[in-house]
Chains A and B, each alone.
Chain A
Amino acid sequence: MNELTQIILKSIALFFLVWAAVRLMGKRNMSQINPFSFISYIVIAIVATLMSINLINLATGFITLIVWAAFPIALDYLSIKSRLMHQLINGKEAVLIKHGKIMEENLMRVRMTGEDLLAQLRSKNAFNMADVEFAVMETNGTINPYFKSDKKPVTMHDLEKMSAPQAEPQTVVLDGNMLEEPLASLGLNPQWLSTELDKMGVSLENVFLGQVDSSGDLYVDFFDDAVELPQPKVKEMLYATFEKAQADLLTFNLQTEDEKAKEMYSKNYQSLEDLLNKLRPYLLH
């Protein structure tokens, strides 16, 4: 019984110790660590296990733990400070495809077969070797391809279209509860939210999720999916209003016989045209 309590106490203490050590060693994703820190983690885990089941005594265990936790931290620090150390510790990235050609020697050096390379490329959506201009294996083993310019996903820039800059949306309602902090960070208050919800004719309790987008419009999702409520279409309406006004100006221009008025109408028709072109990326998505 005494031994059991000892094991329990030790395990609990070691649990927190190992937790603290792992936290200190960094915040990287497990799948992204390099082989060396992987080994450190395993050693720490094994030593902690052996200690908690009394296979090795506490002093030996602690020393081992401290060394295996401190060294990775020290090496990480060194690799941040010096580029040379970084290369020594983490290795160097290997170029596997250059100018669309596979570098067989480099493939050999990282011990990969052609099939491994193809499988990795496929996981990055590069099914066709001919589409890949360049590929590099990072120090953590992932392979990142760079596509040939005609095979790259198209962007707004490629289409020569303007796109409105957008800030990230903020979630202001979750599970029927108002989230004060994001609201405040938008410079809005709870009254604003209740006004917006009133406008839609819903109460806060029925809202599962509410998000405010970059332009300050509120999008809501309800608990009851049978409820269909119009989502904000204010911008589309605004655009339509301007288009209608522009058409009206053209009509007036044709109807009037007054030269000065004709000129005024056509001038404003043109300035609305310019305005619509400028507003299009902002109002229509």
Chain B
Amino acid sequence: MTVASQVKQTLASLKGARGTLRVYSTQTREEEARSMYTDAIVVTSSIIADLENRLQTLEFEEPQYKGN
């Protein structure tokens, strides 16, 4: 497995986690817990953005593995 596809995998699981967080941030009844989940979404999103940037660089560096 190339680095790019590993990063892609992590990216996918982080995106899934962000989705779950989003569900909890809407269905939780406690205000404090809800803002906690919302904060977590922000943090996760910034990590996702960073990884996406990195992925672009990686795919540029090893174009033969693009799409894997």
A-B contact sample (16 more), CB < 8 A, given A237-B20, A248-B9, A275-B43:
A164-B33, A167-B30, A216-B24, A234-B20, A241-B14, A241-B17, A244-B13, A245-B17, A249-B10, A255-B3, A256-B3, A261-B57, A268-B47, A275-B40, A275-B44, A279-B40
Cβ A165 vs Cβ B32 within 8 A: yes
Cβ A248 vs Cβ B10 within 8 A: yes
A-B pairs with beta carbons under 8 Å apart, 10 shown: A214-B29, A241-B13, A241-B16, A244-B10, A245-B17, A249-B10, A252-B3, A252-B10, A268-B47, A278-B40
The answer to whether B62 has its CB under 8 Å from any CB of chain A is no
Cβ A271 vs Cβ B46 within 8 A: yes
Cβ B36 vs Cβ A278 within 8 A: yes
* Complex interface residues of chain B between 15 and 41 (CB less than 8 A to chain A): 16-17, 20-21, 23-24, 27-30, 32-33, 36-37, 39-40
Which of chain B's residues have a CB closer than 8 A to the CB of A24?
none
Residues of A near any B CB (own CB < 8 A): 164-167, 186, 214-216, 234-235, 237-238, 241-242, 244-245, 248-249, 251-252, 255-256, 258, 261, 264, 267-268, 271-272, 274-275, 278-279, 282
Residue of A186, A245, A252 with most partner-chain B CB within 10 A: A245
Which of chain B's residues have a CB closer than 8 A to the CB of A214?
28-30, 33
Contact-size category for B: 20 to 34
Which of chain A's residues have a CB closer than 8 A to the CB of B40?
275, 278-279
Residue of A249, A255, A274 with most partner-chain B CB within 10 A: A249
Residue of B28, B53, B57 with most partner-chain A CB within 10 A: B28
The answer to whether B54 has its CB under 8 Å from any CB of chain A is yes
Closest to B3 in A: A255
Contact of B29 among A186, A235, A251 (CB under 8 A): A186
